[in-house]
Structure 1
Amino acid sequence: MSRLEWLFSRLDRTLSVKVSLYALLGVAAASIASLFSHYVHWAMPFDITPSAIESLLGIIASSMLTVTTFSVNALTSAYSSATSNGTPRATILQEQDRLVQSVLATFIGSFLFSIVALIALKVSAYGPEGRAVLFLVTIAIIVLIVLALIRWIGHLAKLGRVGDTIDRLEKATKGAMTAWMARPYLGGAPLREEVVLPPATGKIEAGDVGYIAFIDTGHIAELCEEKAFEAVLQVLPGAFVYRDSILLRLHGGTSPLDPTLSKQFRNAFVLRTARSFDQDPRFGLITLTEVALRALSPAVNDPGTAIDVIGRQTRLMTLWCTEHPAPADTEPRYPRLHVPPLACGDLYEDAFNLIGRDGAGQIDVALRLLKALEALSRLGPPTARAAAIRQFHLAFARAETTLPTEHERARLCELRDRFTGAA
């Protein structure tokens, strides 16, 4: 995916874009109906009076304004609920909800259609043919409004709830993982210690402070092919960089690294003030962990949600460990670009480390976490298994020193003994 395609994909998920498009369609539908009076003529079997259409349009205009206002208030409450009961990082997924966007766009588009049509009726812009077309369009819009309301009522019942927030986070994280596995190492070649590179030519610095939201590896590869560079990526999406942080190291090349070429390389990196789910599987794991930590806080005290999150993290890590291709099996699309791997140790730490810390004093959370890590220690390459084993022992040590009763500690030791005996 190029930078332009990535920007368009983000634009497509923006609420204002879809609302604006539907609004324009509503205005266009009301305007086009008036053209039939001037350019299309046919014998009408009956005449639709302006007052008949006015009453329908008036109902639509007043009701859609009320429904839109109510919907915006409901969304605000849902976002607030997701922030207070889950994590503020999850609200971006609610804002990108296509059903929410479609419903709001339908309401606003219908409102604008009715307003424009009412104005046109008042100035006698519609003849008999135009009123017939306007009547048919009005009936079609009423049907769309009813369908949107039915979908909206069902969606509002779960919007903003913790379960819905966790579902969205798991889906977004799975999507990021699947995209990474479909194009491992962002399309580049895995960075290996045994790779021999030409002498270093230069480096590309960030020049700003922020998170790496997207890397256009195709653009980097094109520049490398054109100038015969070998490039080594120093950061991955999600990394926080400073002005002098090195983004890319270049080796070889047929021309010097001048300021113009440096700027072209730097343009492949998109910096934002916040992390994005698109190319960053770790961000999804971290955000899920934040939901579990909120649930484990004394103010909430909801270990069930933390256990739910552990199950989802386990499912995601199972996907990663079993389906991620080994470096030797990877066919790079951009052989001149060398990309470091997503370290299994970092993924396991993002998913389980803090849950083990905050859930150490609750036996149900500690046992579920240890069982999940014990199962994951049997999956994946040696690095993944070692990371799971490390998190197992770390979680056990924390729980052993935190659990209040001897009986609970004995249950913990029993599980640890089974694990070490099987190993």
Structure 2
Amino acid sequence: MDWNRWYSLKSYLRSSLWTVPLIAIAIYAAVKPVAEMVGRWMTRQGSLDAKTSLLGLSMTGARSLLGDIVSADLAFLVFTFGSLLVAIQVAGGQYTPRIIATTLLRDNVIRSISGIFVFTLLFANRTAGWMGENEVLQLQVFIAALFGFTSVVAFLFLIDYAAKFLRPVSLVARVGEQGIAVIESVYPAPSAGVIIAPERDTERGAPERIVRQRGKSGIVLAVNLERLVAKARRADVVIEFVPQVGDFVAVDEPLFYLYGNSDAIDDNRLRTLVAFGTERTMEQDPMFAFRILVDIALKALSAAINDPTTAVLAIDQLHRLLRMVGRRSLRVEEIEDSSGRVRVILRTPNWEDFVHISFREIRQYGASSIQIARRLRAAIENLIQSLPEHRHDALRVELALIDRAIAKNHPFPEDLALARIPDSQGLGGSAVSTTSNYQLAPSEASRAQIDNGHR
């Protein structure tokens, strides 16, 4: 199987709820004959007769117990999947549809508990069907009872887990954790200061050959960089991947630019190193975590929901991710081989891209909220304090835009003064603005407004 097909299949299985129950069916198929064989052997040895049975159940009691287990697990399964469908609708409508495939359907706790229900249901039903009129399968009944008790405990745990899992703070925190993991994998090196990008067009000129997309259109999910570097090294070429991970690529659009001995590269083999899908994933797309958090904040700030506190929770995670990104080296476009020669060129988001997606839309939709304005200011000022100097310019621009936006949206001096105070809680905490310490050089009018507000 080609790498792109394997990656797409793996991504699909990770976001599919039915995979763990299917595995549970396979485990049941393997455990059932073993349990029956061991049970018959122990019965022949006389260690599982009616008097010394593990549960001491008669035929009537065993059948009643197994029937209760089957009924309970069937009810648990119906309730679990029914509740999950409702949760998907609520999460998609209140937060963002992009939270479904990336968080809800990939939760291993929910999938594992559903697998326990399926295994217990099948095992108990099979045990009840195999018992004769006078033979109680003591070992199988004991195993079914054990898993039945486990199912009850798992169901009670699932109710508590789902109630906590669907809270806004839990969802945005999970997206933040996934974003941190992606940032660490895509940008492993710490920031080394300002790096001037080379003039690629002057160095390499026009590409000798263009490899275009064939087959179906789709969104770039991931690229196998190791194999690209190896292929470029063997052919002694430079391969430039034209789109960015997360971009939509239509049929016949450029996919690769080849510089050098391009005839040694097979187009079809090159295309197999790019995985496409219908929806973005986080595996190699650090910007997608920012996109999900911003969408949650925008939905919370909409007139239909009007929940700025949830937007503040999303800003908390955006602040956390920006602190991580700001300390990383974002210059990973040129990938070298072991000899130090550039072999692959891959576009990735720069610092300004991360800053823009984190603040611009939230400011546009939430500038009228004092809570949002204060939380954004607190995040930006903290980033200016904690990040290297070469990250400050983009942040200063955002801070100046916030000043202009709140001056436009708050005509009352008292509201304007309150909105200019940074607050990590949005509204409710206490903080003193340190804007003047950063020498932001705003206009004279803006400086006067800030001073008046701080007094």
Show the counterpart of 1:170: 176
Measured in 2, the distance between the counterparts of 1:332 and 1:140 equals: 56
1:14 lines up with 2:24 in the alignment: no
Which position in structure 1 is the counterpart of 2:429? none
- Asked if 1 retains the 8 angstrom alpha-carbon contact of 2:319 and 2:379, the reply is yes
Per the alignment, do residues 39 and 417 of structure 1 end up closer, same or farther by CA in structure 2, a change over 3 Å counting? Answer: closer
Q: CA deviation at 1:400?
A: 1.8
Most deviating of 411-420 and 333-342: 411-420
Q: Residues 29 and 376 of structure 1: is their aligned pair in 2 closer, same or farther, counting only changes over 3 Å?
A: same
Distance 1:82 1:57 in 2: 37
The amino acid across from 2:77 in the alignment is T
**TM-score (normalizing by structure 2):** 0.80
Q: Which residue of 273, 277, 282 maps to 1:277?
A: 282
3-state SS of paired residue (1:182): coil
Whole-angstrom CA distance in 2 between matches of 1:413 and 1:254: 57
Q: Alpha carbons of 1:254 and 1:354: their partners in 2 closer, same or farther (altered >3 Å)?
A: closer
Shift, 1:25, TM fit: 2.0
Greater relative contact order, per chain length (Cα 8 Å cut-off, separation 6+):
1
Matched residue, 2:392: 385
Residue 119 (structure 2) pairs with residue 109 (structure 1): yes
Distance 1:218 1:62, change over 3 A: same
1:333 and 1:135 map into 2 onto residues whose CA distance is 61
What is the aligned partner in structure 2 of residue 309 from structure 1?
314
Q: Is the 8 A contact 1:199 1:252 kept in 2?
A: no
- Equivalent residue in structure 2 for 1:362, among 346, 350, 369: 369
- Tell me which amino acid in the other structure corresponds to 2:294: T
Q: Which residue type is aligned with residue 57 of structure 1?
A: L
Aligned CA distance change for structure 1 residues 38 and 137 (closer, same or farther; 3 Å): closer
- Alignment correspondent of 1:251: 259
Contact 1:289/1:355, CA 8 A, preserved across alignment: yes
- Unpaired segments of 5 or more residues in structure 2? 423-431, 440-455
The count of aligned residue pairs is 408
Q: Within 2, Cα distance between the matches of 1:134 and 1:417?
A: 69
Per-residue deviation, 1:10: 4.9
Of residues 258, 268, 273, the one that matches 2:273 is 268
Question: Which letter does structure 1 place at the counterpart of 2:20?
Answer: K
How far off is 1:376 after superposition? 1.6
Q: Please state how far the C-alpha of 1:152 moved relative to its aligned partner.
A: 1.0
Conserved 8 A contact 2:335-2:343: no
Q: For 1:216-238, what per-residue CA distance to the aligned partner results, in whole angstroms no more than 9, with x for missing partners? A: 11222232123221112222211
SS at match of 1:255: helix
Q: What is the match of residue 444 of structure 2?
A: none
TM-aligned CA distance change 1:254 to 1:312, over 3 Å = closer
Aligned to 2:435: 419
Measured in 1, the distance between the counterparts of 2:140 and 2:421 equals 75
Alignment-derived partner of residue 89 in structure 2 = 80
Q: Which amino acid aligns with 1:264?
A: R
More moved, 374-383 vs 190-199: 190-199
Question: Any idea what the Cα deviations from partners look like across 1:307-353, whole Å, max 9, x if unmatched?
Answer: 2221221111001112x13649x985674112234211111111111
Q: 1:23 to 1:50 in 2, by over 3 A?
A: farther
User: What is the CA RMSD across the aligned residues, in angstroms?
Assistant: 3.0
Question: Do the aligned partners of 2:240 and 2:258 also contact (CA within 8 Å) in 1?
Answer: yes
1:325 to 322, 326, 329: 329
Aligned identity (percent) is 20
CA contact (8 A) 1:229 1:252 kept: yes
What residue number does 2:450 align with? Answer: none
Range with greater deviation from structure 2 (242-251 or 43-52): 43-52
Q: Following superposition of structure 1 onto structure 2, how do residues 20-31 of structure 1 map, counting pairs within 5 Å?
A: 20-31=22-33
Which residue number corresponds to residue 374 of structure 1? 381
* Distance 1:174-1:333 versus aligned 2 partners, 3 A rule: farther
CA separation in 1, counterparts of 2:162 and 2:60?
A: 36
Are residue 344 (structure 1) and residue 354 (structure 2) matched?
Answer: no
Letter paired with 2:141: F
Contact 1:191 1:338 in 2 (8 A): no
Kept in 2: contact 1:24–1:109 (CA 8 A): no
Query: Structure 1 pair 12/354, CA: closer, same or farther in 2 (3 Å)?
Result: closer
Secondary structure of the 1:275 match is coil
How far apart are 1:60 and its partner, in Å?
0.8
Q: Conserved in 1, the CA contact under 8 Å of 2:240 and 2:257?
A: yes
**CA apart distance, 1:140:** 2.8
> Are residues 1:69 and 2:73 paired?
no
Task: Please report how far the alpha carbon of residue 414 of structure 1 lies from its aligned counterpart in structure 2 after TM superposition.
Answer: 7.7
Distance (whole Å) between structure 2 residues aligned to residue 304 and residue 315 of structure 1: 17
Is the CA contact 1:357–1:395 (under 8 Å) kept in the aligned structure 2?
no
CA distance 1:279–1:199, change in 2 (3 Å): same
Question: CA 1:181–1:383 in structure 2 vs 1: closer, same or farther (change >3 Å)?
Answer: same
Deviation of 1:178 after TM superposition, in Å, equals 2.0
1:187 is matched with none
**Which structure dedicates a bigger proportion of its chain to helix?**
1
Query: Shift in Å at residue 405 of structure 1?
Result: 1.8
- Does the Cα contact within 8 Å between 1:197 and 1:230 map onto a contact in 2? no
Structure 1: runs of 5 or more not aligned: 185-189
- Corresponding residue number in structure 1 for 2:142: 136
